[in-house]
Amino acid sequence: LANQWVMVATMMFGAIATGSTALIARFFGAREKAQANEVLRQSIMLGVGIGIIATVLGIALAEPAVRLLGAEEDVVALGSAYLRVAASVFFFSTLMFIGNASLRGAGDTRTPLYVMLIVNVVNIAVAWTAINGPFGLPKMGVVGSAMGAATGRLVGGLLVISLLLKGRAGIKLRLAGLRPDRELIRRILRVGLPTGVEQLFFRSGQMVFARILAELGTVAYAANQVAMNGWSLSFMPGFGFALAATTLVGQRLGAQDPEGAQKSGYTAYRLSATLMGSVGLFFLLFPAQIVGFFTNDPEVIAIGAMPLGLVGLIQPILAAAQVFPGALRGAGDTRYPMVVTGSAIWFIRIPLAFLFAIVWGWGLPGAWGALALDMCIRALLNFLRFRGGRWKAVQV
């Protein structure tokens, strides 16, 4: 529950990150590296301001924020403690998100990979130690988990900034003489803000969706979280191909090659659909075993297996729901995915999840049925937009 609010903060960072990726990709494609470097400078400056605000709000409002999601009192105490620790490093999180996004816009996806590998190793090591308290150390439980995540993001933010100061991947951060460039900031926000609003629609919808699931009881909510973890085995690779589409489409358009941009989008989709479809077969054949990897509670396994099998059926469609919006964002066409996402989650997922899960009593499978329908509609509408080609004329 606390991480729902962490994701809201991530949404704000992501708005600037999307604008950075799209503009830097355009300038790299056009071989205007000085302009790309200036986009990086302005993006980092914006991120610093947002990171400070998010940190203050996250610490000050942690308890009412968790209570707002309908948590029981013991969960409020644990969730607010987690959120305070996680919020304490939002400043470094935004540096990590925007820095990685800028590197991707320059065509360097390997450095963010290595950075996030280090972040996760640190996260696991610190969290395992703080949660379990080996060697006579205190067992800190949920707070220990938050300490792992916070330490990893702190390290990630410092590492990315140090690499950018050295000029990684041909893009370099210069802090001397840094001052606001209103026109460039306006361009970053013009591209990025619709993605931020899209994520606001999505995250707020996710919170309401989580609130509906909380009505099903602790076991159903736990099964949902475990099934989501299993689904991430396909969802996160799809996210990776969406980022590839964003970068390649932006760079091809910057090089005045719209047909190459369209080809890049379709290629990213085919690769994503193939990989996600393969993982989907495992969801169909071994859903209980996958859920069982995350928990040994037989009731949670029984409830969580069916939703995982359901999303296994529609993996190629889910690939389209991720890759084509990513391609549109690379072109700077961010308003259309915003409208599609907001409409689908609020007019399809939320009302149908309540109807199926609560009113009709179908429980967790009913809620995931609404989720699947939402994703299918998003996939279709974004595919039609990409195929139509209007995005080729968008100015960023």
Tally Cβ neighbours within 10 Å of residue 273: 20
Confidence of residue 73 (pLDDT cuts 50, 70, 90): confident
DSSP state of 361: -
Q: 3-class DSSP state for residue 351? A: helix
Q: What whole-number distance in Å separates Cα of residue 149 and Cα of residue 145?
A: 7
Rg (CA), the chain: 21
What average pLDDT does this structure show over 106-127? Answer: 95
Tens digits of per-residue pLDDT, 172-226? 999 888 898 999 999 999 999 999 899 889 888 988 998 899 899 888 988 998 8
Q: What whole-number distance in Å separates Cα of residue 392 and Cα of residue 204?
A: 31
Number of H helices, E strands in the chain: 16, 0
- Give pTM, 2 decimals: 0.85
Which residue in this structure is represented by tokens 């000085």? 34
